[in-house]
Amino acid sequence: MSETQHFKCTLKNTDQTLEEYFNNSGEELGCYLDVEEWFDEERHQKAVLFNERVYEIKFWEDFGESDVFRALGQFNGDIDLHLKYYDGGCSFDEAIAYALDNIEDDF
């Protein structure tokens, strides 16, 4: 069942490319065709790609009802997200992408 999602979270910059992140994970591709498929399946709602770097989701707070897609870049390279959306209209990953499309820098 679809419902409104309202999240606020922090993305921690790992300063690693997807390939570096995978190589440092100690995991194997197994049944996945490539690193991108592994990332999409194994790191769903745990990490995201932005500007060819992996960001891990470190802080997550669920607020619960009007859409908000806000990203704020921090001095240390991390990104704070404030997301509120109807999950029948877009996915968690799409909501992050909307926020990152209009990122605001705090420096």
Return d(Cα 47, Cα 67) in angstroms, integer: 22
Band (pLDDT 50/70/90 cuts) for residue 64 is low
Least reliable range by pLDDT among 45-54, 60-69, 77-86, 88-97: 60-69
Q: Which amino acid is at 5?
A: Q
18 compared with 104, residue with greater pLDDT:
18
Residues 18/51, Cβ–Cβ less than 8 Å? no
pTM of this structure: 0.57
For the purposes of burial, counting CB atoms within 10 Å of the CB of 51, is it exposed (0-12), middle (13-18) or buried (19 or more)?
A: exposed
Which helix (DSSP H) or strand (DSSP E) does residue 81 occupy? strand 79-86
